[in-house]
A and B are shown apart, each in its own frame.
Chain A
Amino acid sequence: MNPRFKDPRLYQILVLSALLVYGVSRLELEIRPLSALALLGTVLLTQYTCTHLWRLSAFDPRSALISGLSLCLLLRTNSLALAVLAAAVTIASKFVLRVGGKHVFNPTNFGIVATMLATGGVWVSPGQWGSAAFFGFLIACLGGLVVNRAARSDVTYAFLFFYLAVLFGRALWLGQPLTIPFHQLESGAFLIFTFFMISDPKTTPDSRAGRILFALLVALGAGFVHFVLYRPNGLLLSLAFLSPLVPLIDRLLPGSRYVWRRAEDPASTPAPVLLEERRFA
């Protein structure tokens, strides 16, 4: 198999693009073509600029595209300037906010939360997904897990387990019918979060134990925001506020660092960490 196709990011780009097209054409998601173009253009431009500023060897648009597509699907704003700002912050965070040679935040997560908290002019509409879109997307996401076994999907599984435990546990405790937690899960934002954000191998803890611990913390944090603070965007806020713990978790539970498989590097043996980390993917 051509190693080029083993990069899980290509599959992710495909799935997110399909979802974006479906969302705009069928779900009336309020994504204006101009905003989408601005978001995608800005992420690529920022990635390109930062690649030069940090003197990296090659410009790699793949991760930036995933961030851009996720922003298109999640971020809502009436202001083109804020869209551009969010996109720039998203990519720049990868280069600027680093601890121990690893970026601290999932870029999309940071871009959305930072712009939302700082400007108040952007928002996320988590409820705008129909069942059909949800289940189609779910299947695509699960398919991605199977196809890309290698890509540290343990954090996704662990998070799914803990988050479901939070939702179903709460419903059972309250004596609510189980249709309620099922309904709470039926959100495209939840899927993007689970399969594209928390699973980001570049920002999750290095060891398996660390990742499982992190997934537990994020699930509890999201439950806290939703059911104690009664605020929307529990998943995004929880991940953003808990990500700074990752360096600490890495220190307590060390492991080997993840690198994206390179097209020109078919070997699956881990490349030297320091060198590869300069790629900032």
Chain B
Amino acid sequence: MKRLLIVLLSCAALAAAAGTAFAFCGFYVAKADTKLFNQASQVVLVRDGDRTVLTMANDFKGDPKEFAIVIPVPTFIQREQIHVAEKALLDHLDAYSSPRLVEYFDENPCAPRRYYEMAPAPAGQAAAGAAKADRARSLGVTIEAQYTVGEYDILILSAKESQGLETWLLENGYRIPQGAARVLGSYLKQGMRFFVAKVNLKEQSKLGFTYLRPIQVAYESRKFMLPIRLGMVNANGPQELFVYALTRKGRVETTNYRTVRLPSDTEVPLFVKDEFGPFYKAMFAEQVEKQDMRTVFLEYAWDMAWCDPCAADPLSADELRQLGVFWIERRGPRPDMIMPGGQDVFLSRLHLRYDSAHFPEDLVFQETADRQNFQGRYILRHPWQGKEKCEAAQAYRRELPKRYEQQAQTLASLTGWDVNKIRMKMNLKAKTSGPAEDEPWWKTIWKD
């Protein structure tokens, strides 16, 4: 009995909703004393079997020459295994998988009929890290390789012991936070190398980018994990991380932390349309708090082989290949795909806020056989504004205050906002205290 017009709103600021943070798998090491500020990190993990393509992006806003990241990697990395991606790819992936707002318009209850249509919407963000180097073998540090890729100078380091590595990094002008040596040491003992990247300013000006593009690394390793411990050493406060896992079989979840679905499919008051950014931010913060900051949230899980309808402009085969989805044919989708444009890819979008007290261990993932679709979706339902007076319309109007109150309560519980303030914003007072339906019937006859 509803006429549905679904409008998908963009939630641009969403990913950025974050808050203060430092890094993700690696940590930033400033050369000057400036405090680095960066908002959310985004990681794309493409994985099938042991083959992995990792894309790392984050919102570094400082001077490019201050930018440096140190990331533990499980294997030696050759030049051809490194690539610099376009930021737009991550923006698109983000837009495609962001929680969204949908709008429904109630139909005239006196004359029910139905149809609906959909329109997509987007938004996002990205950026990334850099490097440079050379020097002392006496410290037990080996520069296994040195590459310039795009605007980045990249080193692959191995070391005999963490103290030597720490000293080397310090001597080369990296400010290593207190306590990093211990974490470096545990990665070294696990046979990991370090991927150190800085911005090559000359290359950057040649290329003409004003922002840092995401770095991609392709490698083969049994480890399906993201090292987050280094990034927490110098973090001041919790950090924000988005992980987009692109796999073949099904949904990806963490095996050493709870993965919980973000609350979804609930009706919220209409004013949320203008405050979707703050809404999402507040809701995420509230859910993090409710779960004692010990869970990873699933925000999106989608079988890209089909979409009916597509919630947002889906990624093309070419874009997916750019992101590292190596099993996709260049020629296009498999012929047996249910939808034209569908791809043999399952996307899981995970979002977490973490610090060392609540996330002591690196994130370990597994791919499950779960192919159920899920999205963070919030519903705006516009009441029918008509003046007709059939019985159904009267019943409909009587139900409205209840619905509004329910929406207010839902919003309060989702976001932790004060329910009274929500009611005020919704102009609920009049409606809850004296429903318009109780007015004598003749009052509205000659009203326009």
Q: Determine if B256 is an interface residue (Cβ-Cβ < 8 Å).
A: yes
- Across the interface, A76 reaches (CB within 8 A) one of B256, B361, B370, namely B370
Q: Determine if B249 is an interface residue (Cβ-Cβ < 8 Å).
A: yes
Q: Give the complex CA separation of A134 and B340 in angstroms.
A: 46
- Flag if A131 contacts B370 (CB, 8 Å): no
- Flag if A125 contacts B253 (CB, 8 Å): yes
Q: Which residues of B contact A58 (CB under 8 A)?
A: none
- Flag if B222 contacts A183 (CB, 8 Å): no
Q: Which residues of A contact B190 (CB under 8 A)?
A: 174
- Flag if B186 contacts A127 (CB, 8 Å): no
Q: Determine if B204 is an interface residue (Cβ-Cβ < 8 Å).
A: no
Q: Determine if A118 is an interface residue (Cβ-Cβ < 8 Å).
A: no
Q: Give the complex CA separation of A230 and B220 in angstroms.
A: 13
Q: Determine if B147 is an interface residue (Cβ-Cβ < 8 Å).
A: no
> What is the 8 Å Cβ interface bit string for chain A, positions 219-254, against chain B (1 contact, 0 not)?
000000000011110000000000000000000000
- Across the interface, A131 reaches (CB within 8 A) one of B259, B261, B294, B366, namely B294
> What is the 8 Å Cβ interface bit string for chain B, positions 185-221, against chain A (1 contact, 0 not)?
1100110000000000000000000000000000001
- Name B187's closest neighbour in chain A (CB-CB): A174
- Across the interface, A120 reaches (CB within 8 A) one of B221, B249, B253, namely B249
> What is the 8 Å Cβ interface bit string for chain B, positions 363-386, against chain A (1 contact, 0 not)?
010101111100000000000000
- Flag if A175 contacts B259 (CB, 8 Å): no
Shortest Cβ gap from A109 to chain B (Å): 18
Q: Majority SS of interface residues in chain A?
A: loop
Q: Which residues of B contact A256 (CB under 8 A)?
A: none
Given contacts A125-B368, A174-B189, contact A180 B361 (CB under 8 A): yes
- Flag if A129 contacts B370 (CB, 8 Å): no
> What is the 8 Å Cβ interface bit string for chain B, positions 338-380, against chain A (1 contact, 0 not)?
0000000000000000000000110010101111100000000
- Flag if A175 contacts B185 (CB, 8 Å): yes
Q: Which residues of A contact B254 (CB under 8 A)?
A: 127
Q: Determine if B258 is an interface residue (Cβ-Cβ < 8 Å).
A: yes
Shortest Cβ gap from B193 to chain A (Å): 16
- Flag if A179 contacts B360 (CB, 8 Å): yes
Q: Determine if B406 is an interface residue (Cβ-Cβ < 8 Å).
A: no
Given contacts A120-B249, A131-B294, A177-B360, contact A78 B186 (CB under 8 A): no
Q: Which residues of B contact A125 (CB under 8 A)?
A: 253, 255, 259, 368
Interface residue ranges of B215-245 to A (CB < 8 Å): 221-225
Q: Determine if B403 is an interface residue (Cβ-Cβ < 8 Å).
A: no
Q: Which residues of A contact B366 (CB under 8 A)?
A: 123, 232
- Flag if A176 contacts B186 (CB, 8 Å): yes
Q: Which residues of A contact B294 (CB under 8 A)?
A: 130-131
Shortest Cβ gap from B181 to chain A (Å): 9
Total count of chain B residues near the partner, CB < 8 A: 32
> What is the 8 Å Cβ interface bit string for chain A, positions 111-138, against chain B (1 contact, 0 not)?
0000000001111011111110000000
Q: Which residues of B contact A179 (CB under 8 A)?
A: 360
Q: Determine if B260 is an interface residue (Cβ-Cβ < 8 Å).
A: yes
> What is the 8 Å Cβ interface bit string for chain B, positions 253-270, against chain A (1 contact, 0 not)?
111111111000000000
- Flag if B369 contacts A78 (CB, 8 Å): yes
Q: Which residues of A contact B256 (CB under 8 A)?
A: 126-127, 183-184, 187
Given contacts A175-B189, A229-B222, A230-B223, contact A121 B258 (CB under 8 A): no
Q: Give the complex CA separation of A120 and B369 in angstroms.
A: 7
Q: Which residues of A contact B255 (CB under 8 A)?
A: 125-127, 232
Q: Which residues of B contact A177 (CB under 8 A)?
A: 360
Q: Determine if A77 is an interface residue (Cβ-Cβ < 8 Å).
A: yes
Q: Determine if B83 is an interface residue (Cβ-Cβ < 8 Å).
A: no
- Flag if A184 contacts B361 (CB, 8 Å): yes
Q: Give the complex CA separation of A176 and B190 in angstroms.
A: 11
- Flag if A127 contacts B369 (CB, 8 Å): no
Q: Which residues of A contact B370 (CB under 8 A)?
A: 76, 78, 123
- Across the interface, A78 reaches (CB within 8 A) one of B223, B261, B372, namely B372
- Name B185's closest neighbour in chain A (CB-CB): A175
- Name B223's closest neighbour in chain A (CB-CB): A230
Q: Give the complex CA separation of A176 and B260 in angstroms.
A: 27
Given contacts A123-B370, A183-B361, contact A231 B222 (CB under 8 A): yes
> What is the 8 Å Cβ interface bit string for chain A, positions 71-82, against chain B (1 contact, 0 not)?
000001110000
Q: Determine if A173 is an interface residue (Cβ-Cβ < 8 Å).
A: yes
Interface residue ranges of A7-44 to B (CB < 8 Å): 27-28
- Flag if B258 contacts A76 (CB, 8 Å): no
Q: Determine if B182 is an interface residue (Cβ-Cβ < 8 Å).
A: yes
Shortest Cβ gap from A168 to chain B (Å): 14
Q: Give the complex CA separation of A123 and B224 in angstroms.
A: 16
Shortest Cβ gap from B106 to chain A (Å): 31
- Name A125's closest neighbour in chain B (CB-CB): B253
Q: 8 closest Cβ contacts across the A-B interface?
A: A179-B360, A174-B186, A230-B222, A123-B368, A232-B366, A230-B223, A121-B369, A232-B255
20 A–B contacts from the bound complex (CB under 8 Å): A77-B369, A78-B372, A121-B369, A122-B369, A123-B369, A125-B255, A125-B368, A126-B256, A127-B257, A128-B258, A130-B258, A130-B291, A131-B292, A174-B185, A175-B182, A175-B189, A184-B256, A230-B222, A230-B223, A230-B225
Sample of 19 further A-B pairs with CB below 8 A, known A127-B258, A230-B222: A76-B368, A78-B369, A78-B372, A123-B366, A123-B368, A125-B255, A125-B259, A127-B253, A127-B257, A129-B258, A130-B292, A131-B292, A174-B185, A182-B360, A183-B256, A183-B360, A183-B361, A232-B364, A232-B366
Residue positions of B touching A, CB distance < 8 A: 182, 185-186, 189-190, 221-225, 249, 253-261, 291-292, 294, 360-361, 364, 366, 368-372
